[in-house]
Amino acid sequence: MTQLPSEVVSAAHDLPILSIAREMGASLRRKGSEWNGPCPGCGGTDRFWLNEDKNTFLCRMSGAAGDPINLARHVHGIGFADAVAMLTGVDRSHLHKMQTPAAEDNKYREKARQRAWKIWRDGRSIDHRQGGYLVAAYLALRSIPFPQWTVPALREIDQLAYWEWSKEDQAFRIVHTGPAMMAAIVGPDGHFIGVHRTWLDLQRPNGKALISDPETGEVLDVKKVMGSQRGGRIILRKGDRPCPRITGEGIETVLSFAAFHGDQRSTLQAGINLDNIAGKAASQIPHPSKQNVDRLGRKRRLMIGSSEPDAQDTACLAFNGDLSSVTEELLLGDADSDRFTTQAAMLRAKARAERDGRPVSIRWAPDGLDWNDALRARAVKQAKRSEVAA
């Protein structure tokens, strides 16, 4: 087998990463000497950092980092050779004959999966009969009733290290250690592919830890993924089939919606982030009001993914299952973020979910809220009514 030509790899490595990121759907704003915004691969709000001078990126959620080749691998979930082909336009049929992609990429993915598996297995059950208490306390702080069914995907741990990239040391280092909720992410075949972690602080009103970068003071995302998440899901309940299937971004959102509506039988799953649920867009459209400002101070319309799904994107969450088991798809929309962008993504998800012929609906939270906000607001009202009645 021939080696991957060094000049081809160098060409991909040297491409301007800011332009590449924007072509991949990144909407970034300048912050000092860097660019920041949602990750084009796994979403969020400000987890993605790009250094134009160093031609590198960092996703704080997944830990993915590096040059344009690594960016293409992270966003599209592809191997080294396919990333080079995508970036340089080289005939990928030749690249598949080369030595680099399969062995090295599979080894990298498997090592990450094994690390994630160990982290998840090191936790304990959330069931109080088996010593669990952290997740129950966390959910109570969010006004979410503790599940009356077994949730094998969820585990908890008293002490879990939070690793963050140090620009000063040019290496990852531990910036926090504390309790965490952990969730198993499974792929389309039902096998474990990664672990989702939420660091907790039960002394805070929302139960989430407050973790800051010791170098910059910036507040970090307390939710991170180890292993793979593209195309993955967190199964919170297998419903009494045939039944509806409810899909939302986060664990808290899905459990809150079920509690808010008293749902006791639907299948519940978290799709981890909106990009994974919606999939890639067929095109980019201008945002009606938001703008980007480049380093020369020039203002440009912010481009976002359209409502039409990319038919070639098969790596995102699959809404599979025959009509005899899944009777309806309910997609949960949060109304506490930019509505134009979120609605376009939700319509992509709806279009993809409708391909199998089952009914699909988007269930939006009340204006300005997510589903947990709505559940907590109702709990406050009920508590006040109880006080008045007493």
* Domains in the chain, CATH or no CATH each: 6-98 (3.90.580.10), 123-227 (no CATH), 230-390 (3.40.50)
User: What is residue 337's DSSP assignment?
Assistant: S
Q: Are 301 and 291 contacting, i.e. CB atoms less than 8 angstroms apart? A: yes
- Listed in sequence order, the residues at least 6 apart from 343 whose beta carbon sits closer than 8 Å to its beta carbon are 307, 333
3-state secondary structure string across 97-126: CCCCHHHHHHHHHHHHHHHHHHHHHCCEEC
Q: Are 212 and 234 contacting, i.e. CB atoms less than 8 angstroms apart? A: no
- What six digits make up the tokens of 121? 């297995």
Helices (H), the chain: 6-13, 17-23, 68-76, 80-88, 92-95, 101-121, 134-141, 251-260, 274-278, 339-353, 371-389
Which residues are registered as beta bridge partners of 270?
Answer: 234, 248
Calculate the dihedral angle through the C-alpha atoms of 128, 233, 273, 367, rounding to the nearest 10 degrees.
-70
Q: What's the confidence (pLDDT) of residue 105?
A: 62
Taking the chain (390 residues) in runs of 10, the rounded mean pLDDT of each run is: 66 88 84 86 81 89 85 82 77 45 66 92 96 98 97 98 82 92 95 96 97 90 90 95 95 98 97 92 88 68 87 90 85 93 95 93 96 96 84
- What six digits make up the tokens of 360? 């699909």
Helices (H), 176-266: 251-260
How crowded is residue 322: how many other Cβ atoms within 10 Å of its Cβ?
Answer: 10
